[in-house]
Amino acid sequence: MTRPGPPAGGPAAPGPGVADPGAPVVVAARRTPIGTAGHAYKDLTVDALAAPVLAAVAGDLASHIGGRPVDDVVLGNCTGPGGNVARVAALAAGLGHEVPGLTVDRQCGSGLAAILVAAQAVRAGEAELVIAGGAESASTAPLRTRRGEAEPYARAPFAPAGHPDPDMGPAAEALAAAAGITRERQDAYAARSHAAALAARARGAFAQEVVPLGGRYDDQRPRPLRPATLARLPAAFAPGGTVTAGNSSPVSDGAAAVAVLPERLRAGLPGLRLVAGAVVGCDPALPGWGPVPAVRRVLSRAGVGLERVAAVEVVEAFAAQVLAVTDALGLDPLGADADRVCPDGGALTLGHPWGATGAVVVTRLFTRLVRGGAPPGTLGLAAAAVGGGLGVAALFEVV
């Protein structure tokens, strides 16, 4: 496993604290409660999950920038029905016939990638208000069959013939072995994620970000987990392996979205200015490694060190993947950095609706930093690993 340094490619971004009237700023962020596939939202299609969140984000802005039209909706989605989910959801949300909609597929990084696409349009001056995020309904995703074949295929390829193309579970197992991540550390991280989410929910940490849906106000999955219980679970993907159902994220349904507009139109609203974003490739045999080069590129473009970042939200697809990434970046989420890295839990406990989770982590940053009253200049980082060997990362600054 190679450990590359910061790539040299790409223009430098205006660093933190640099005035930029065209800089994209996230000024609202919402999500649904997250449900385990086949349970809470088993009958809701992906557009039905997304529409209430889009409407809630638009409603959050109404009293501040009322009358300003939404120029576009950009949504990440991985396994939906096609047909431009973003457009369907925008219409269902009542945003108007004029809002076109764009659906983005970068697999598990789709929600965060959609926010970066929206930010690019805002920075370029091609849009002034974009709602962006992601949605996934694993429960209602269609089964696809190739013409002439009787049985549906399991998934589309992440890489072409001749390249490694592992499923995510075996890929996490391979990354754990390559990075030396033990079963004990994975189980400890999973137990910590569940305990943190339960504590956060008890103190109301999710209340302002969640849009009630289907009578639910809370995420379905968080529950007390004892280390002894986790230790008894068998390996899920390889005999004698370390990755189990307990230290892996569940297949889930949910949606999340944010509003992005330029700094000059912020009208005094507090928010998160996008300092730098990046999508990079890595070895498709170890897709969980992707956040490492992505984070390094973002920090290099912004000209800051990770020690300046107060809040980190990584998509917790697998405990092994989070620990491999944080180890490589010099973070210790089970020790000194427990209050920096996913301190309210993440996808391991809340759930992992693939196309949405990248937007969920930005929503979590918004709550932690903006709703939490962090001072201007505070930095937050969001990152996700992607099947096929990609990493997505974004650095934000409180304004």
Positions marked catalytic = 108, 352
In sequence order, the β-bridge partners of residue 163 are none
| Rounded-to-integer distance, Cα 278 and Cα 219, Å | 29
| Rounded-to-integer distance, Cα 69 and Cα 96, Å | 9
Q: Which residues of 24-42 are buried (b: 16+ CB within 10 A; e: fewer)?
A: bbbbbbbbbbbbbbeebbe
**201 CB contacts (<8 Å, ≥6 apart)?**
218, 219, 222
Q: Which residues of 181-214 are buried (b: 16+ CB within 10 A; e: fewer)?
A: bebebbbbbbbbbbbbbbebbeeebbeebbbebe
| Rounded-to-integer distance, Cα 126 and Cα 24, Å | 12
| Rounded-to-integer distance, Cα 137 and Cα 49, Å | 8
Count of beta carbons in the 10 Å neighbourhood of residue 361: 29
Strand intervals (E) in the chain: 24-31, 35-36, 72-76, 102-104, 130-137, 252-262, 272-281, 309-314, 379-386, 390-398
Please give the full DSSP string across 168-199, using - where no structure is assigned: HHHHHHHHHHHHT--HHHHHHHHHHHHHHHHH
Structure tokens at 279: 């999508």
| Rounded-to-integer distance, Cα 166 and Cα 170, Å | 6
**291 CB contacts (<8 Å, ≥6 apart)?**
314, 325, 383, 384, 385, 391, 392, 393
CB of 210 closer than 8 Å to CB of 24: no
| Rounded-to-integer distance, Cα 215 and Cα 67, Å | 30
Tell me which residue has tokens 């973002």: 298
